């Protein structure tokens, strides 16, 4: 009897493996990603199947949440702005091509005449956000991947409670897994004060339809529909006081003008997903003031999008560069598109500089990152390790005109699995600020040479190769 049961279990297990592999093949995924999953399924009995059902299923075609469908089925009150309306703002056809790409792949409207402030560290970012919140009169919409239960987040809680009690409508979205350590007391006190708090994709005990791997990594704050913030920082003390890795260095941008409508639209789309309530009231889209002549696109991507929107935009920017590309990223685990774009641009004579942290909060990511450095250095890319704490910034500047700031890292998780938001800015002043910021950060860096890479220990090389093999699925 026991042997019969064992045979049945073995047959059932192999049936599950064959079924999973069949699904992988029929989905026509990236071959590297598919082969990585096949290795996991074959080499890790039982665990491989569990991992596949937890984090390996592809929901892109199922449209977990669709910004396009919500916008098209309900007439949002702001005016859609198409790229061809602002051709006089653009200095080259390549830039217009990039704008058209983002408009088509993510429905990213174009917003003109904005005021833009670059916030280069935790102190300036939190100070600016707290000031905006204190002065809020109508509403506060806040959405972040991580809210730590620490001094910074508790001060935020106090401000939100104060504003809610004063009659300001406060809506807050937190990622259930990213903010898993938030206490029940923290959330309860917000709700009792009248703050509308909702988790993004809370965990469900549904293995067959698990979405645990799809997280909301966006960082957005909108106040009164007039002031908008986005970037790479989370609400945590480490951006001011540091941790075992040192002080976390990050970049944020603050908007006034029509681009705030783009952030507002994205937040309210996410709010519809967590609350199932569509908000289109005109008060959330006040008529913006006109500021300097510039263009901004707010680009979102994730398992809901038809295309890898942010990734395509970054690749387009790199390939269109004539002079230089400066890249800030805490994790450099590129797919083939980004890797080849960087290599081709470097080989074409473009001055490409990549800045990564000396040590990140993930040893696996560090190993993956280092495995790619040899080939890009050989192509002419200058690689720098930031040593003054942990570089968490996700900022790119291209040719003194294109700036990209947001939540997306240069890795497969950000390109495919996370819900992300980046601002694509077309303007000289912001680009020069980010360029100067990058050059200042270089003072706290050490350049990695080709000799450094070749002289690694054999054990380190093996670890990096192993990490790279499984990087497409992590």
Q: Which residues are catalytic?
A: 217, 219, 224, 392, 394, 399
Pair type for strands 351-357 and 324-328:
parallel
Provide CB contacts within 8 A for 351, sequence distance 6+. Answer: 323, 324, 325, 382
Cα(286)–Cα(147) distance, integer angstroms: 28
What letter does residue 216 receive in the DSSP assignment? Answer: B
Of 48, 63, 55, nearest in space to 473 by CA: 55
Cα(210)–Cα(123) distance, integer angstroms: 38
Pair type for strands 395-398 and 248-249:
unpaired
Cα(144)–Cα(159) distance, integer angstroms: 16
> If you search the block for the tokens 């600016």, which residue do you land on?
128
Cα(75)–Cα(95) distance, integer angstroms: 29
Cα(406)–Cα(401) distance, integer angstroms: 17
Cα(350)–Cα(404) distance, integer angstroms: 18
Helix (H) / strand (E) containing 198: strand 196-200
Cα(204)–Cα(210) distance, integer angstroms: 7
Cα(331)–Cα(412) distance, integer angstroms: 10
Cα(335)–Cα(44) distance, integer angstroms: 24
Calculated CA dihedral for residues 103, 104, 105, 108, nearest 10 degrees:
20
């Amino acid at each position: 009897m026991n042997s019969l049961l064992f045979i049945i279990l073995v047959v059932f297990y192999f049936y599950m493996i064959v079924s999973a592999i069949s699904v992988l093949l029929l989905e026509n995924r990236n071959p590297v990603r598919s082969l990585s999953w096949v290795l996991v399924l074959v080499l890790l009995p039982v665990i491989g199947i569990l991992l596949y059902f937890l984090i390996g299923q592809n929901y892109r075609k199922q449209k977990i949440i669709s910004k396009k469908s919500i916008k098209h089925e309900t007439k949002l009150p702001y005016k859609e702005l198409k790229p061809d309306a602002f051709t006089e703002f653009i200095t080259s056809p390549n830039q217009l091509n990039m704008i058209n790409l983002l408009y088509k792949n993510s429905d990213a409207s174009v917003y003109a005449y904005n005021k833009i402030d670059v916030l280069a560290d935790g102190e300036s970012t939190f100070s600016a956000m707290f000031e905006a919140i204190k002065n809020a009169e109508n509403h506060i919409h806040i959405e972040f991947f991580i809210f730590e239960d620490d001094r910074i987040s508790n001060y935020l809680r106090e401000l939100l409670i104060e504003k809610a009690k004063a009659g300001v409508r406060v809506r807050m979205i937190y990622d259930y897994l990213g903010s898993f350590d938030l206490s029940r007391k923290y959330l309860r006190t917000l709700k009792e004060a009248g703050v509308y708090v909702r988790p993004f994709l809370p965990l469900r005990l549904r293995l067959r339809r698990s979405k645990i791997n799809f997280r909301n990594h966006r960082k957005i704050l909108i106040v009164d529909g007039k002031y908008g913030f986005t970037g790479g920082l989370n609400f945590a003390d480490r951006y001011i006081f540091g941790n075992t890795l040192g002080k976390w260095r990050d970049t944020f941008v603050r908007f006034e003008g029509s681009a705030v409508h783009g952030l507002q639209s994205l937040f309210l789309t996410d709010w519809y997903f967590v609350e199932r309530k569509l908000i289109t009231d005109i008060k959330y889209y006040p008529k913006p003031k006109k500021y300097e002549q510039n263009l901004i696109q707010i680009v979102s991507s994730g398992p809901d999008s038809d295309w890898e929107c942010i990734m395509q935009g970054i690749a387009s920017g790199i390939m269109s560069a004539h002079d230089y590309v400066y890249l800030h990223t805490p994790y450099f685990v590129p797919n083939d598109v980004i890797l080849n774009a960087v290599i081709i641009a470097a080989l074409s004579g473009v001055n490409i500089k990549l800045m990564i942290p000396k040590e990140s909060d993930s040893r696996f990511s560090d190993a993956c990152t280092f495995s790619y450095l040899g080939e890009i250095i050989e192509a002419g890319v200058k690689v720098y390790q930031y040593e003054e704490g942990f570089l968490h910034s996700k900022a790119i500047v291209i040719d003194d005109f294109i700036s990209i700031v947001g939540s997306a890292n240069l890795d497969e998780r950000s390109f495919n699995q996370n819900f992300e938001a980046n601002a694509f800015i077309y303007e000289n002043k912001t680009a020069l600020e980010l360029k100067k910021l990058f050059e200042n950060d270089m003072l706290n860096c050490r350049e990695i040479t080709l000799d450094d890479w070749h002289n690694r220990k054999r054990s380190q090389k093996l670890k990096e190769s192993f990490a790279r093999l499984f990087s497409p699925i992590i």
